[in-house]
Amino acid sequence: MAEIQLEGLLKKVPSTYKLAILVSRRALEISEGSPKLISTKLEEPFQIALEEIREGRITYKKKETG
């Protein structure tokens, strides 16, 4: 299993909780057949989702309230 650089991911997503939700949702999409957004040899949906976030293909956008 590849080592995860949490610091780099937290620059893209503001909290570990939000990162966990984003990764789990994207990993579920991948496991259900959504195409990968990156070219990779990785096969685990969780690892692919992390790499997509690290490369900026998946982003977190704060919801506007009010």
In tens, the pLDDT along 19-61 reads 999 999 999 999 999 999 999 999 999 999 999 999 999 988 8
- How does residue 18 score in pLDDT terms, banded at 50, 70 and 90? very high
pLDDT score for 32: 97
Query: What DSSP assignment string belongs to 14-58?
Result: S-HHHHHHHHHHHHHHHHTTPPPSS--S---HHHHHHHHHHTTSS
Name the more confident of 14 and 44.
Answer: 44
Task: Domains for the chain: give ranges and CATH numbers.
Answer: 6-54 (3.90.940)
Whether residue 19 contacts residue 49, with contact meaning beta carbons closer than 8 Å, is answered with no
In whole angstroms, give the CA distance from residue 9 to residue 26: 15
> Quick one: which of 53, 44, 43 has its CA closest to 20?
53
